[in-house]
Amino acid sequence: MARRDDDEFAAFAAASAASLRRTAYLICGDWDRAADVAQEALIRMYVAWPRLDRERSLLGYARRTAVRIAIDQARKRSSREVPTLDLVDVTTDDVTSQVTDRVLLMAALADLPPRQRACVVLRYYEDLSVDAVAQTLGCRAGTVKSQTARGLDALRAAYARHGGELRLSDARHETTDASTAEEVHP
């Protein structure tokens, strides 16, 4: 790659690495592994860089790459994952603390199959449309809807078991969530 392209890529990598790591963390549940995913995604970006269309979203391409890597790794690791939290031990009172809430969310996410996890993260963390998620995961929109719905059901059930309630709507996302609810429960 030409030096100018290298500089351009380096700037992109520096700007996007943290964001990619955050998305990867929500899928893999481990910050170190998420950093590895981000790095691998950026290496693949570098290889593809000369032929990438700069008019389209480079971050979108990087995110798609990172999510696919994270899903692949989650599948490889699924047979040896050891739960780090026994949800049965979490009491209703504990759930009120922010830290425990975070642990509950990550444990519930970890219980989802990797593809469902990715659908939930891309829809509700990255705020991607159903079509955009389908493009990212390389599947049909209908699959995204069904996978997201199953994932949300499992998350709600996990929260309910511990006396909590998981809402799809935040005040700032009221409008979006109304359409989301229709999309995930066709």
Partner 1 sequence: MSTGLRAALQDAVSAPPPYDPDVTAIVDAGVRRSRRRARAAVGAGAAAVVAIAVTAGVVAGLRPPPDPEPAKVVRLDLERAEHVRLDVLATTRAAVVGQPEGPLERAEFEGVTSDGLVLVNRHRNASRALELGLLDPAGGTTDWLPPPGVDNRELQVVDLTPERLVVVTRSRGAYGYEVLVFDRAARTWQRSEVKLPGRVEVHVGPQLALGPDDRLYFGAMTEGQPYPVSWWSAPLTDDSPDLREEPELEGASVAWSDDGMVSADPSGRVVVSGPDEERVVSDQRPADCATPEDFPDMPVGLLLAGDTPVVTYPCRFGRSGVVSRTVIYEDGGRTVVEVHAWARSADGDHVVLASGLPPSLSRPSATPEDDGTFVVDLDGLTVSRIGDAPSQPQSALGAGLVLWTSEEPSGDRQHTRPVFNVARLD
Tokens of 8: 């351009």
Per rule CB under 8 A, is residue 166 in the interface with partner 1?
A: yes
Least distance to partner 1, CB of residue 73, Å: 10
Q: Structure tokens of 177?
A: 């969530």
By CB under 8 A, residue 164 contacts partner 1? yes
Distance, in Å, from the CA atom of 49 to the CA atom of 56, rounded to the nearest integer, reads 12
**182 vs 73: CA distance, rounded Å:** 31
Applying the rule CB under 8 A, the residues between 127 and 146 that interact with partner 1 are 127
Give whichever of 45 and 67 is closer to partner 1, judged by the CB atom.
45
Q: Crossing angle, helix 3-28 and helix 114-124, to 10 degrees?
A: 110
The token pair at 169 is 């709507």
Distance of alpha carbon 129 from alpha carbon 180, whole angstroms:
9
Whose CA is closest to 133, among 68, 178, 42? 68
Instruction: Name residues contacting partner 1, limited to 45-104 (CB under 8 A).
Output: 45-47, 49, 72, 75-80, 92, 95-96, 98, 101-102
Q: Which residues, numbered 110-129, are part of the site for partner 1 (CB under 8 A)?
A: 120-121, 124-125, 127
Q: Pick one of 105, 111, 141, 143: the residue that binds partner 1 (CB under 8 A).
A: 105
Positions touching partner 1 (CB under 8 A) are 1, 6, 9-10, 13-14, 17-18, 21-22, 25-26, 31, 35, 38-39, 42-43, 45-47, 49, 72, 75-80, 92, 95-96, 98, 101-102, 105-106, 120-121, 124-125, 127, 152, 155, 159, 163-170, 173
